[in-house]
């Protein structure tokens, strides 16, 4: 009785159920079933630095193995007024990580009295992801404008990061870079938006894990434009005809009627408070 009652409680992750879960999974796989999987965002996310700032783009589909779990999820998350973050990988991990990071960034900038730097956000994210050794499965693209100009970083689930003028992540990481390799960083806004839209659309058409709409987020020094559903390359088709059967299509062969005799067993009246 002493052991449990004198332990001091701490917060954070609790590993009590890991053994039980391992035993359950082993038993299930013996019978041929599999344990439920986390919902992932098989994703296309991309980022590009142009003349005045940063554009982040993402698709909007979240998948659960081979089923589309969410047709219109938001993958571009707010971190600070001029810093946004696209998340790929496990949807819940990306969401909670970016929310915690947003709170941390706010606290930090209140403590320093200055607007936050993109490099600071990247550093905190990568230190946290390294601490959890990749078990938090979220890959992120952080982009924003701060005192040092527009910047773009990508962070992988195990904690490595990259600073590049254009970035793509998600399930189409390897097929999109050719789009961007021909860009120059002196593009103007419309060309850059078109380029990111084209890249995300290519991801939507060529990858089963990405789909629905294209979201864009344009961050410049003066403004932030969150263009939700900037483009909808895949429209739901219209049904050409009706598929209803006319009444009388199926012939009735026999008809039997069985009346059920019901007796009143108990009758009670409850007065409702209508005032």
Partner 1 sequence: MNTRGLRSQLKDSVPVTGLCPQAGSYGVQDSLRRGFSSVKNELLPSHPLELSEKNFQLNQDKMNFNTLRNIQGLHAPLKLQMEYRAARQIQRLPFLPSSNLALDTLRGSDDSIGFEDILNDPVQSELMGDPHIMTEYKLGVL
- Residues designated catalytic: 43
Interface pattern 14-43 for partner 1 (x via CB under 8 A): xx--xxx-xx--------------------
β strands within the chain, DSSP E:
40-41, 44-49, 53-59, 62-64, 67-70, 76-80, 83-90, 138-146, 149-155, 161-163, 166-170, 214-220, 224-231
Point out which span in 64-72, 125-133, 137-145, 242-250 binds partner 1 (CB under 8 A): 125-133
- Angstrom CA distances, 261 to 112, 265, 268, stand at 80, 12, 21
In angstroms, how far apart are the furthest CA atoms of the chain?
85
Question: Minimal distance in Å, beta carbon 135 to partner 1?
Answer: 6
2 lines the binding site for partner 1 (CB under 8 A): yes
Are 144 and 84 in contact, with CB atoms under 8 Å apart? yes
Instruction: Name the residue nearer to partner 1 (CB basis): 100 or 147.
Output: 100
257 lines the binding site for partner 1 (CB under 8 A): no
Of the candidates 71, 114, 131, 163, which one interacts with partner 1 according to CB under 8 A?
A: 131
Instruction: Name the residue nearer to partner 1 (CB basis): 115 or 177.
Output: 115
Task: With CA atoms as reference, report the closest residue to 226 among 103, 83, 41, 90.
Answer: 83
Of the candidates 100, 147, 206, 229, which one interacts with partner 1 according to CB under 8 A?
A: 100
> Rounded to the nearest 5°, which phi and psi values hold at 2?
-70, -40
114 lines the binding site for partner 1 (CB under 8 A): no
What is the distance between the alpha carbons of residues 115 and 81, in angstroms, rounded to a whole number? 9
Question: Minimal distance in Å, beta carbon 157 to partner 1?
Answer: 14
- Radius of gyration of the chain from its Cα atoms, rounded to whole angstroms: 27
Question: Minimal distance in Å, beta carbon 108 to partner 1?
Answer: 7
Question: Minimal distance in Å, beta carbon 107 to partner 1?
Answer: 5
**Which residues here bind partner 1, judged by CB under 8 A?**
1-7, 9-15, 18-20, 22-23, 96, 100, 103-104, 107-108, 110-111, 127-128, 130-133, 135
């Amino acid at each position: 009785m002493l052991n449990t009652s004198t332990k001091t409680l701490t917060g954070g992750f609790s590993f009590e159920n890991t053994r039980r879960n391992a035993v359950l999974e082993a038993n299930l796989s013996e019978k041929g079933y599999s344990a439920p999987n986390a919902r992932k965002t098989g994703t296309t996310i991309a980022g590009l630095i142009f003349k005045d700032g940063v554009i982040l783009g993402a698709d909007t589909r979240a998948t659960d193995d081979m089923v589309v779990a969410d047709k219109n999820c938001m993958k571009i998350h707010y971190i600070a007024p001029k810093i946004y973050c696209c998340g790929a990988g496990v949807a819940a991990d990306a969401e909670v990580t970016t929310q915690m990071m947003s709170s941390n960034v706010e606290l930090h900038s209140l403590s320093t009295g200055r607007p936050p730097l993109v490099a600071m956000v990247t550093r905190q994210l990568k230190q946290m992801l390294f601490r959890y050794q990749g078990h938090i499965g979220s890959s992120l693209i952080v982009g924003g404008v701060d005192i040092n100009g527009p910047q773009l970083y990508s962070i992988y689930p195990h904690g490595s990061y990259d600073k590049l003028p254009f970035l793509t992540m998600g399930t189409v990481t390897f097929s999109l870079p050719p789009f961007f390799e021909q860009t120059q960083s002196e593009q103007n806004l419309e060309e850059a938006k078109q380029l990111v839209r084209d890249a995300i659309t290519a991801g939507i058409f060529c990858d089963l894990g990405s789909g629905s709409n294209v979201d864009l987020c344009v961050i410049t020094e003066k403004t932030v434009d969150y263009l939700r559903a900037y483009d909808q390359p895949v429209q739901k088709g219209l049904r050409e005809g009706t598929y209803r059967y006319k009444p009388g299509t199926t012939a009735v062969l026999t008809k039997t009627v069985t009346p059920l005799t019901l007796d009143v067993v108990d009758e009670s009246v409850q007065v409702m408070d209508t005032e």
